[in-house]
Chains A and B, each alone.
Chain A
Amino acid sequence: MCLCLCCVVFIFLILIFYMKMMMGSSFPEEVLEHVFSFIERDRDRNAISTVCQSWYEIERWSRRRVFVGNCYAVSPVILIKRFPDVRCLELKGKPHFADFNLVPEGWGAYVDPWIEAASKAYPGLEEIRLKRMVISDDTLKLISKSFKNFKVLVLSSCEGFSTKGLAAIAADCRNLRELDLRESEVEDLNQSSGHWLSRFPDNYTSLVSLNIACLNSEVSFTALECLVGRCPNLRTLRLNRAVPFDRLAILLRRAPQLVELGTGEASDLRPDVFSPPDVFSNLLGAFSGCKELKSLSGFWDVAPGYLPVVYPICPRLTSLNLSYAATIQSSDLIKLASQCQNLQKLWVLDYIEDLGLEELAASCKDLRELRVFPSEPFGAEPNVLLTEQGLVSVSEGCPKLHSVLYFCRQMSNEALRTIARNRPNMTRFRLCIIEPRTPDYLTLEPLDVGFGAIVEHCKDLRRLSLSGLLTDRVFKYIGTYGKKLEMLSVAFAGDSDLGLHHVLSGCENLRKLEIRDCPFGDKALLANAAKLETMRSLWMSSCSVSFGACKLLGQKMPMLNVEVIDERGPPDSRPESCPVEKLYIYRTVSGPRFDMPGFVWTKDKDSALGLS
C-alpha cells in the first residue's frame, strides 16, 4: 500500500520533465469495444454503427442482443450477415390483432427457418424470446441440441408445439435459467415415457424462472416439488391450474426465496365445507416465510375465505394479477388491495367496481399500471358497478399512474378531460368501452373531445386505444397532438378517409397502426404511401380499401409487403373496386415472403404463378 502511494508520487515528479503531447486521433479497437459494451439500447447501437466505417464493423461484431419487431421485415440471412455473434435473439411474428382472432390460422410467423439458420451461425446463442410465433417440437429439439450454453426461452402467445418439445428442452438444456410459456398454446401429448418436468436431470439445479401458467395439462407434482427443491436460485414460479392450492405450501417451504409466484387452482378448497383446519394455517405459515415475494398471480377459483393467507406478504407486493380470480368479489378485493400499499401494478377483473378503485386510489399511492378486465364482456347488461368514475378516482389518487387498460360500459367527455388533466404523465392509455359506438352517456355526443384532451395533455403518450362513438374530429386531434404516439388501435370509429389521413400525416412517430371496422378507403392510404415506409406495420380489417388500391400500393412501394388476407377466395375473382377483407402492410428489406397460405395475396404471388 505504502509502496503504491510512493510510486504514484514518483510518477508525478517525473512527469514534470516528461510532458509530451501525443493524442492519438483514433481509438484502439479494443477500447472502442469496451465503450460499446456499455451501450445497450438498440437505438443507440444503430446510431454508433453509422458514425463511420470502422465503427460500423466494430459495432456489428460486438452486438450481442438483437430485436426484430416483425419477423418478415428482415431475413435470417441478412441478420447473420450483419451480426455474426448474436447471443440474444428476440422476434415478433403475427400482428397484435391476432389476439382477437382476426388473423386466420396458418397465416405465417414460423420461427423454424430462423432457428435453423441460427443453429449453424450462432453456436453461442443463449437467449430466444418469441412473441406470436409458430414453433414446432422439432425446432424445440433443435434448440436443445444446438446451443450448448442456452439459458433463456420465452414463448409469449406462441403455438405449434407440445409437451414433447418441452421435454427436449428440459432434458438437454443443461444451463437453462428461464422457461417462460406465457399465454402460449401447448398441446398435451401424454407421454408414456413420463411427464416432461421429470425430464430435467437430477443434477440440474440452475432454474431461475419457470412459468407454466398457460398449460392446460396435468403436472407431475412430485417432479415439480423435486425441481423446485433442488434449484436454490429459483426466483419466479408461475404454476398452472393443475397444481392444487393447498399443496402450494409444500412448494413455498421448498422455495422461500421466491420473488414471483403464480398460484394454481383452488376449486376443491372450500373452508365452509369440510377441509382440514391446518390447510389454512399451513398456507399462512408458508406465505409468511416468503420474505422476498413481490409479485403474485393466479388465484383460479380461490375461495375468498382463503385470501387472508396472503395478507402477511401484501405490504411487500409490487405486482398483483387477479385477472383470473373470478371468485373474488368486490369487498374481498378491496380488503386485499388496500393492504398492498406498495403496489405498482394491478391487473384485476371489474368485480373491483368503482368503490374498490376509490379505495385503491386512497391506499396504493405508488400505483403505476392498472388493467381492469371485463368479467362478462358478452353480457347485454352491466353486471357490476364499474363506470368511468373508478378510473377518474385512480387518476386523481395515484400520481405515478401512467399505464392504463380499462374495460367499461360508459364514459363521458368530462371524465376523459378530468383524467387527462390529472395525469399528464400518461404514456399508455387503452380504453375499451364494450359496446361499439357508445356515445358520451351524459350528453350523447361523440367522445372526440375527451380523447382529444388525452392526446393534448399527455405529451408523452406512446400508446393509445380508442373506443366509443368517434368522428373524424378525434383523428384531427390525434394528428395534431399525438407527436410521440407510436401505437394506435382504432375500432368502429371515424366518418371518412380524412380521419385516416389526419393520423398518417400528423403522427410523426407512429410505428404501428391497427384499424378494424372503420370507413377508411383508398384515398388516404394512397396519399400517405410514403408514410408507410416509416412505420413497422399497418393492419386494416373490415374497412373500405379496394383490391385495386392494394395492387397500386404494392407496385408503387417496393419496400412494402402489401398482404391482402381474404378467405373468400382469390381477390382477382372479384371486381377491383371490391373492398378486401383484411389488409396487412409492413416494410421489409427481405422482399416478398414465400410461406404464404392460399388466402394471402401479394403482388409477387401473381408473378410467381405467372399470372398477369
Chain B
Amino acid sequence: MKFCAVKQYFDDENNNNITSGASTTMIPLPNVESHPLAILITYCKKHLKIKANNADNKKETEKEMEQYEQELLKKVMPQELTELILAANYLNFKEALDFFCRAVASAIQNKSIEFVRKFFGLESDFELGEEEKLREEFAWSFEGVDED
C-alpha cells in the first residue's frame, strides 16, 4: 500500500470491524485537493504496473519509471508541484514525495529569490535592510565552490 496514510486507516478498520466482505469504505481526505490526488493515483497505478511488468529487473523498473516521470513533468504545471508535494506528504506516499521534491528543487535552482517567493506564494518578512545585509554579507562569505 503506497498511500501510507490510507493504509493506516485500513489497519485501524481491521482492528474494529470484520471487513473482509466490505467493498466500499469512506475515507476522509480533507487535506488533499482532487486534482493533485488524481495525479498521485495515476502515478501510483503506473508505478505498481511498471513494477509488476518488470518483476525481476530492478534496473528496468527504474528506467521505465524515470521515463514516465519525465513525461509526467512535462504535463504538470510548475505551480502544481507544490500542491502535489503537500498531497504526497499528507498521504505519506514516499516515492511520489521524493520525486516531486526533486522536481521542485530542480525548478527553483538557478532562479532569483523573487521567482522562488512567487512559486511558493510567499513574501519576505525580513526587517528593512536585514535582507539586503544577508544577501550582501552571507551570500558571498559562504559562496559557491570555484569551478576551477
Interface residues, chain A, with chain B CB atoms under 8 Å away: 1, 3-5, 7-8, 10-15, 17-25, 27-28, 31, 34-39, 41-44, 46-53, 55-56, 66-69, 73-74, 78-79, 82-83, 90, 92, 428, 462-463, 487, 536, 587, 589
Contacts and interface: CB of A to CB of B under 8 A. Distances in A.
Q: How would you classify the secondary structure of chain A's contact residues: helix, strand, loop or mixed? A: mixed
Most buried by B among A11, A28, A43: A11
B148 A463 contact: yes
B148 A73 contact: no
Contacts of B72: none
A69 B131 contact: no
B142 A74 contact: yes
Contact of A428 (B6, B112, B139, B148): B148
30 contacts: A4-B1, A7-B1, A7-B3, A10-B23, A11-B3, A14-B27, A18-B27, A19-B34, A21-B33, A22-B33, A24-B31, A34-B97, A35-B101, A35-B105, A38-B101, A42-B143, A42-B144, A46-B144, A47-B111, A49-B134, A50-B113, A50-B126, A50-B139, A51-B116, A52-B123, A56-B134, A82-B138, A83-B142, A462-B148, A589-B137
Interface of B: 1-3, 6-7, 10, 23-34, 37-38, 41, 44-45, 48, 52, 82-83, 85-86, 89, 97-98, 101-102, 104-106, 108-113, 116-117, 120-126, 131, 134-135, 137-148
| Shortest 8 CB-CB contacts between residues of A and residues of B | A38-B105, A74-B141, A42-B144, A43-B144, A46-B139, A67-B145, A19-B34, A35-B101
B28 A18 contact: yes
A39 B105 contact: yes
B102 A38 contact: yes
A34 B101 contact: yes
A121 B11 CA distance: 44
Given A22-B31, A44-B110, A52 B144 contact: no
Nearest to B6: A11
A24 B112 contact: no
Nearest to B85: A31
Nearest to A4: B1
Contact of A69 (B1, B32, B108, B146): B146
A587 B138 CA distance: 12
Nearest to A46: B139
A53 B142 contact: no
B10 A20 contact: no
A11 B108 contact: no
Given A31-B89, A48-B116, A50-B113, A69 B27 contact: no
A428 B146 CA distance: 13
Contacts of B2: 4
B105 to A, nearest CB: 4
Contacts of A55: 122
A10 B148 contact: no
Given A34-B98, A35-B104, 14 more contacts: A4-B1, A10-B27, A15-B29, A34-B101, A39-B109, A46-B144, A47-B111, A48-B108, A49-B134, A52-B123, A52-B126, A53-B126, A74-B142, A589-B138
Nearest to B37: A15
Nearest to B23: A10
Contacts of B112: 47
Contact of A44 (B44, B108, B122, B138): B108
A44 B115 CA distance: 12
B123 A24 contact: no
A92 B122 CA distance: 36
Contacts of A20: 29-30, 33
